[in-house]
Amino acid sequence: MEDLRKIKERIETLRKEITLHNYYYYALDRPVISDEEYDALFRELQELERAYPQFITPDSPTQKVGHPPLEEFKPFEHVVPMLSLENAMTEEELLNFDKRVRKGLEGTPLRDILDSSGMYVVEPKIDGVAVEIVYEKGILIAGGTRGDGRIGEDITPNIKTVRGLPLRLMPFGNVPDPPPVVSVRGEVYMEKGDFLKLNEEQRGRGAPPFANPRNAAAGSLRQLDSSITAQRPLRIFCYGIGKIEGLSVTTHWEVLNLLRSWGLPVNPLSRPCKTVQDVLSIVDDLRDRRHELPYEIDGAVVKVNNLEAQRYLGETTRSPRWAIAYKFSAYTAQTRIKNIRVQVGRTGVLTPVAELEPVSIGGVVVRNATLHNYDEILRKNILVGDHVIVRRAGDVIPEVVEVLKEKRTGEERVFTMPSHCPVCGSEVIQNPGETAHRCSNPRCSARVKASIIHFSSRDAMDIEGMGEKTVEMLVDRGLVNSIPDIYTLSKEKLVGLPGFGDLSAENLINAIERSKRTTLDRLIFALGIPYVGRYTARLIAERFPSIKSLMSARREDLMSIPGVGEKVAGSVVDYFSDPNHREMVNRLLESAIEIKTPGEEETKELEKSSIFSGKVVVFTGTLSSMTRSEAEELVERMGGKVSKSVSRNTDIVVVGENPGSKYQKALSLGISVMRESEFLNHIPFRK
Ligand SMILES: [Zn+2]
């Protein structure tokens, strides 16, 4: 019995410590222990809980995942409605808001309080999903989306997986305890970097990418299976409490500090302001910094600080009178479409592209914007010569959002899709049920060029020097008409061609030779099968021993691979049922392409050519594709040394999810940092 009590005590200590370190890490962005130390605490807790399941409680930090999938979302009622905020689009509208607030409080004693104690609080407006989380006796018991403000959706299992959101409130320092029931409000969001990585994975799986981090956060939060949500890097900033009664606080600023001291993440850029002039300068500062922030903000929220004043001002049916959202203009600009041209991709799909009068959006000059497909042009009613709004969000290709019809002069022209390929002149076809127009000629030079560029790219066969210009030139001169032709090139054929001297010709031939030793996943990806991205190629390669066996695979064989769905399976089967494709693969195999599962000798070879060779490598954060020790083993196999801590001697820091202090240190020492996706690019083989 004695022992059990000690174990229970240890479990409770561990939980407290882990919650505390989560707080330092997520809420304060200031970890005080290393990743290893944190991992060790977490593992110890997991092991103790596994051995003594009677001590598992729902608020344990290990319980962030583990709810069976839901059939549907139940309604979630907000005791105090979550009203939406009124928007201010201009400085003038913000000044008017200030005037209304002052007028509303005219003649009350509250007016003096405002002038003495700081009138407003400004918070960055996070571009995410508004949620409410209910804690009972400090334990997270429910979470819901905003919905229509009164009824949202109950997403409790999902909300528990949000990084940095404590399952148990833990007051730090000398602060009031949370009341028996408290509902906390916040914005769930995804960091920009995490969003790009997620989209890369989506594309790899053949799944549609998300349009922006907010959509990604919303989509992730609305998964019926919380284990999917758990894989998505969601975070939260808390900004308020639904029902404030029972708490001895007088200002909103105190509320924010209280939330923080209960262990909830609160945005560190929130500020109290004495006057509306201070508000304007903080808003300007946020606008200047928005591009540097790791998450997207689309404005600032201004709230009256004094809670009694808030109550006095009250609300309209739709929104409170004591707060306003000041919106930054989005990453959009106005310009004109000079022309619409059509690009032909490697699968023959014709993509209309708008050539724009150059315009600067968020500091980048944009000259082209995608129009996606012909249906989009019709839907948006776009004419050549139109004035349009163009949006550039993050690293996504700029797109035309809408037409400014009032600016039309009558000079605009209707665009029609060409009936014949602009590159090879073959007929353009549209498959039934598809929006895409395609060039019908499999040997179209635009398709050939695009597929060779893809085949040679770094993630595929990695033929250095086989870039866009070289491919264009080789295809235009008839030296290469299909992918396997690459392997018929020789130094003699190259020397003397534009851009090729003795040395550059030799370099390209060497790169082509090197590419013959490859791995199955790279070859599968290189073929450019629709919907088969890098990750999907890897999943497939792990199941099939050779490209020959893949060529005769059935739909069912492919669909039995976790992560491969109907679309991918169908696409692979279709691809290999085309005799042209089979012939191409056979020719590739004949040109002495060797598919390797690396043995000892190859490993030595790889050691020499690996970028990790002789380098000191440090890992931080969680890797999603393999365990830390697998990754370390790989680096060692490739001739690198693994170190546990970052110092001036470190050459490369590989950063997984939720990196710790080592990441910061690497940045401050100027050490080269590699994301997991890049790291995977440098690994030529996997177990
Ligand atoms: Zn064509």
Secondary structure element (H or E) that encloses residue 540, with its range = helix 534-543
Residues 455, 461: Cα–Cα separation, whole Å: 6
Residues 136, 77: Cα–Cα separation, whole Å: 16
Rg of the chain, C-alpha, whole Å? 29
Closest C-alpha to 342, from 424, 464, 239? 424
Query: In whole angstroms, what separates CA 278 from the centre of its chain?
Result: 34
As annotated, the residues of the chain forming the CATH 3.40.50.10190 domain(s) are 606-681
Q: Is 31 exposed, middle or buried (0-12, 13-18, 19+ CB in 10 A)?
A: buried
Compute, in angstroms, the gap from residue 533 CA to the centroid of ligand 1: 24
Closest C-alpha to 346, from 474, 468, 432? 468
According to the CATH classification, is domain 2-64 in 3.40.718.10?
A: no
Compute, in angstroms, the gap from residue 443 CA to the centroid of ligand 1: 8
According to the CATH classification, is domain 520-595 in 1.10.150.20?
A: yes
Superfamily covering domain 606-681: BRCT domain (3.40.50.10190)
Active-site position among 64, 103, 125, 380: 125
Q: How confident is the model at residue 478 (pLDDT cuts 50, 70, 90)?
A: very high
Q: How confident is the model at residue 27 (pLDDT cuts 50, 70, 90)?
A: low
Q: Please, where are the H alpha helices in 160-275?
A: 192-204, 213-221, 226-231, 252-261
Compute, in angstroms, the gap from residue 481 CA to the centroid of ligand 1: 13
As annotated, the residues of the chain forming the CATH 2.40.50.140 domain(s) are 332-407
Rounded to 5 degrees, what are φ and ψ at 4?
-60, -40
Superfamily covering domain 332-407: Nucleic acid-binding proteins (2.40.50.140)
Compute, in angstroms, the gap from residue 429 CA to the centroid of ligand 1: 11
Q: Which residues contact 41 (CB under 8 A, 6 or more apart)?
A: 14, 17, 18, 21
Q: Could you say which DSSP state residue 306 is in?
A: B
- 608 an active-site residue? no
Q: What are the pLDDT digits (tens) for 63-84?
A: 765 556 667 788 899 888 888 8
Tell me the mean pLDDT in the region 110-123.
78
Tell me the mean pLDDT in the region 641-660.
84
Secondary structure element (H or E) that encloses residue 87, with its range = strand 86-88
Provide the CATH topology of domain 86-327: D-amino Acid Aminotransferase; Chain A, domain 1 (3.30.470)
Q: How confident is the model at residue 604 (pLDDT cuts 50, 70, 90)?
A: low
> Each residue of 596-628: b (16+ CB within 10 Å) or e?
eebeeeeeeebbeebebeebbbbbbbebebbeb
Q: Are 152 and 78 in contact (CB under 8 A)?
A: yes
pLDDT at 686: 42
Q: What is the mean pLDDT of the chain?
A: 85
pLDDT at 602: 45
Closest C-alpha to 62, from 72, 49, 76, 53? 49
pLDDT at 681: 67
Using the predicted structure, report yes or no on whether residue 122 has a pLDDT greater than 90. yes
pLDDT at 187: 97
Return the axis-axis angle of helices 35-51 and 2-22, rounded to nearest 10°: 140
Q: What are the pLDDT digits (tens) for 42-67?
A: 888 988 888 888 888 878 888 765 55
Tokens of 532: 């088969």
According to the CATH classification, is domain 445-515 in 3.40.980.10?
A: no
As annotated, the residues of the chain forming the CATH 3.30.470.30 domain(s) are 86-327
User: In 3-state terms, what secondary structure has residue 599?
Assistant: coil
Query: Looking up tokens 């105190």, which residue turns up?
Result: 254
Q: What are the pLDDT digits (tens) for 348-368?
A: 889 999 999 998 876 678 899
